[in-house]
Amino acid sequence: MSGPVHGTWEPAPATRWEDAFLSGNGRHGVMMFGDPNVDRVVVNHHTLVRPNGAEHARPPALAAELPLLQDRLLAGDTTAAERFTDGRELQWVQPFHPAFEIRLRYPGDQEPGGHRREVDFTTGVVTAHHGGRHSEVFVSRADDVIAHRVTGPGLIADITLDHQLPGAPHDLAVGHSAVLTPEGALLTLRVRHPGSDRAYTGITLAVLTGGGTRTSLPGIRIEGARSLLLLTRVRRHTGELDALTEARELRALLPEGIDEDPYDRLLARHIALHRPAYLRVGLDLDADESERALSGSELLRRPKSTALLERLFAAGRYHLLSASGMLPPRLTGLWTGDWNTAWSGAFTTDANLNLQTASAAAAALPEVTEAHAALVQGQLEHWRDNARAIFGTRGVVAPAHTDGESGHIYHFSREFPLQLWTAGADWLLKPLVDHDETRGERDPRTAAALAEVACFYEDFLTRTDDDGHLVVVPSYSPENRPANAGWGTLNAAMDLSAARHALLTAAQYHPDTPEADRWRALAGRLAHHRINEDGALAEWAWPGLRDSYDHRHLSHLYGVWPLDEITPYDTPELATAAHRALELRGAENDSAHGHLHHALIAARLRDGERVDHALDQVLGGDFFHASLMSAHYPNRDVYNADAAHTLPAVLIETLVQSTPDRLVLLPAPPGRCPRGRLRGIRTRFGAEVDLTWAPGGARAVLKPTRTVRVQLRTSPGDGDAQPLHLVAGEDHVLTLGSW
């Protein structure tokens, strides 16, 4: 064995669903348990959210009250925004939930020894071996089907579909069927939510080689088979679903008269899409080969191991790719084994979603960005409703939480006045702008959405301070409040950064229009960031508002990451203040997203020691399950994808950063990574970068796809920027001294 391991394995069955190995195609997802007596595959689907009344919720009609609120806040009423509500109770978005478990129960007591389960990141195949039985499953990107094959001598198994996973409501309307058809044995599970016409149906077609099948309600029994192939899909619907038609569509995936094994044929079609995407980028930290050979659970006991970082980087990209398709990853990615998913298993857009997808552009995963764009584009009409109802403006305002269906703002309360958050649309469009810069082409859908954000600010930014600067009022910094005021205030740093960035970026996308001049002028009238009495960038750029430092969110440093508004190169005074703000920031409840958000900002500010500390908190805090999916809190508390999906972005940011006109190499390499190779990184000026580094120096190979002039920066201790002239199609080699 040599080089990083592109997968992980365990020598024992999973006893917790959180430790189940994962596969997904961005629509369907599976969680596989290996067990001596029972194979369990939990099936998920991105569209499965439970009706709870939120499907009918609309944004509050508050626009008529906005001028009075603005008057009061500007006059010094620090709690005025607490009354800016229609009095509704906090409404959570519709909860994400699992579909069901495919259960294969084998008769008799199986011997406990000889078990191994593993997942191959390059193929997305999860396998479990026990004795002579071999079980493997993947979710096809090509055919949108869950394919599960079991082989072994004289297979005997009872197969059922069961929705009764932890937290399943007792009042669901459930129907099972098991019939033998010309296509194969057909199992269906229909689940309807109470008081709703919404339902979903699981369809599993069982095709045997050898042996026989009989119905054994609520499932089927197979006997004497050499192999078993299960093809499964989930359909969400209203009314009835024609299960026989679905079965025929599944059987059509297995054409007759072909020498190739049907499972292998399905797998080859899937691998043709999955493997190239996964292999576009790789990280090699020259880890010890004996550690690379360890199981995932053993590696997790070695938090300082570079082999652990290699594997978590690989797993993070694999899970992120697997969770992204029709939608980007939820708080739990695409997976859950519990009907009571924390925070509704939502898309939390005021921090978590952008953190999870932070590596998409640089780590060459356009599939992730396209899924992110699908979420945004699918909700723009609701964003328009939010702007009209709450603020009485044109344009768009994004919600802080969404179930993937509704983009309306209805999840808010006195403690979390998320209806006041106006920065969300810019924050959510920023990854799409990065994607456009990376590929060198502007998406007209992104251009149109940016224009709508700018229109919102044209209508919303009407108040000024004594110096004539525009004031963002009301303003909100997720999910924090000043030490001496209510949650809704004035000139939150994130709001200022978002407004400025949205207006200037919209002007760049529409350069030859009359609106562009207006938008640039409006951006120039916004208030500046404030440096407080501690020398830190203030979270609220309004005199008298005191910072609350012990908080998990770092929204006020939006200008540092992911924006390029505040950098050590262009705005050193503000960068110093931002670094001071980072030093003073507490970890509050030790959430994983807080630690890694801290690390991303530290990397932009060239502080490798602070990145190392954040990594220590996550890797040493028992945040990762044996599946290498992560938890929200230490000690594997609350299944959550934030750490798993964000960690690759942190490592990339410490080694390579780019803007449309700048390349920064080794800005903040963690001390735990003294040498290594990072290949395939994409830059926002259109070049691919392969970087090799060691204590004696570094070498970078740039492969530009377009001709550009950029600045080169190396850190720490670099002097003036060096100019680089890159020619499309011509590799450019850089050799750096000791770093």
| CATH code assigned at 218 | 2.70.98.50
Q: Work out the pLDDT band at 644, boundaries 50, 70, 90.
A: very high
Tell me, what CATH number does 479's domain have?
1.50.10.10
Q: Would the pLDDT of 15 be above 50?
A: yes
* Euclidean distance between CA atoms 609 and 616, whole angstroms: 10
Q: From 397, 237, 431, 426, select the one nearest 328 (Cα to Cα).
A: 431
Overall residue count recorded for the chain in this entry? 739
Percentage, residues of the chain above pLDDT 70: 98
- Is residue 504 domain-shared with residue 400, that is, in the same domain? yes
* Euclidean distance between CA atoms 120 and 7, whole angstroms: 5
- Is residue 595 domain-shared with residue 636, that is, in the same domain? yes
370-410: per-residue pLDDT in tens? 999 999 999 999 999 999 999 999 999 999 999 999 999 99
Tell me, what CATH number does 714's domain have?
2.60.40.1180
Domain boundary residue among 583, 617, 647? 647
* Euclidean distance between CA atoms 209 and 426, whole angstroms: 55
Hunting for tokens 């024609």 — which residue is that? 242
Q: Is residue 123, in this structure, part of any structural domain at all?
A: yes
Question: Quick one: pLDDT at residue 35?
Answer: 79
Beta partners for residue 127, in sequence order = 118, 136
* Euclidean distance between CA atoms 461 and 391, whole angstroms: 11
Q: Work out the pLDDT band at 718, boundaries 50, 70, 90.
A: low
Percentage, residues of the chain above pLDDT 90: 93
- Is residue 212 domain-shared with residue 159, that is, in the same domain? yes
Residue 629 neighbours by CB distance under 10 Å: 27
Domain boundary residue among 262, 277, 292? 277
Question: Quick one: pLDDT at residue 715?
Answer: 66
Structure tokens belonging to residue 124:
């997305």
Q: Would the pLDDT of 1 be above 50?
A: no
567-618: per-residue pLDDT in tens? 999 999 999 999 999 999 999 999 999 999 999 999 999 999 999 999 999 9
Which domain, by its residues, includes 244?
7-49+96-277
Hunting for tokens 């008057």 — which residue is that? 71
pTM beyond cutoff 0.85: yes
DSSP result, 258-286: -SS-HHHHHHHHHHHHHHHHHHT-EEE--
Q: Is residue 545, in this structure, part of any structural domain at all?
A: yes
Buried-state track 329-351, b at ≥16 Cβ within 10 A, e below 16: bbbbbbbbbbbebbbbbbbbbbb
Beta partners for residue 40, in sequence order = 33, 103
Q: From 202, 152, 200, select the one nearest 177 (Cα to Cα).
A: 202
Q: Would the pLDDT of 263 be above 60?
A: yes
- Is residue 529 domain-shared with residue 421, that is, in the same domain? yes
Q: Work out the pLDDT band at 719, boundaries 50, 70, 90.
A: low
Helix axes 642-655, 608-619, angle to 10 degrees: 160
Q: Would the pLDDT of 126 be above 50?
A: yes
Structure tokens belonging to residue 532:
């407080």
- Is residue 235 domain-shared with residue 311, that is, in the same domain? no
- Is residue 86 domain-shared with residue 104, that is, in the same domain? no
- Is residue 152 domain-shared with residue 82, that is, in the same domain? no
Q: Is residue 294, in this structure, part of any structural domain at all?
A: no
Q: Is residue 284, in this structure, part of any structural domain at all?
A: no
Domain boundary residue among 647, 670, 704? 647
- Is residue 382 domain-shared with residue 523, that is, in the same domain? yes
- Is residue 571 domain-shared with residue 429, that is, in the same domain? yes
Q: Is residue 332, in this structure, part of any structural domain at all?
A: yes
- Region 624-648 average pLDDT: 98
Distances (CA, A) of 140 to 146, 193, 269: 6, 28, 8
**Mean pLDDT over each residue of the chain, to the nearest integer:** 95
Q: Work out the pLDDT band at 539, boundaries 50, 70, 90.
A: very high
204-241: per-residue pLDDT in tens? 999 999 999 999 889 999 999 999 999 999 999 999 99
* Euclidean distance between CA atoms 386 and 397, whole angstroms: 6
Q: Is residue 298, in this structure, part of any structural domain at all?
A: no
447-497: per-residue pLDDT in tens? 999 999 999 999 999 999 999 999 999 999 999 999 999 999 999 999 999
267: Cβ contacts below 8 Å, ≥ 6 apart? 123, 125, 138, 140, 147
665-706: per-residue pLDDT in tens? 999 998 999 999 999 999 999 999 999 999 989 999 999 999
Q: Work out the pLDDT band at 720, boundaries 50, 70, 90.
A: confident
5-19, 103-117, 334-348, 663-677: least confidently modelled range: 103-117
Q: Is residue 81, in this structure, part of any structural domain at all?
A: yes
The domain tally of the chain equals 3
Q: Is residue 55, in this structure, part of any structural domain at all?
A: no
Question: Quick one: pLDDT at residue 340?
Answer: 96
Q: Work out the pLDDT band at 737, boundaries 50, 70, 90.
A: confident
Question: Quick one: pLDDT at residue 568?
Answer: 96
* Better pLDDT: 108 or 77: 77
- Is residue 542 domain-shared with residue 453, that is, in the same domain? yes
- Is residue 323 domain-shared with residue 337, that is, in the same domain? yes
- Is residue 174 domain-shared with residue 254, that is, in the same domain? yes
Q: Would the pLDDT of 113 be above 60?
A: no
Asked whether the beta carbons of 474 and 420 are under 8 A apart, the reply is yes
Question: Quick one: pLDDT at residue 738?
Answer: 56
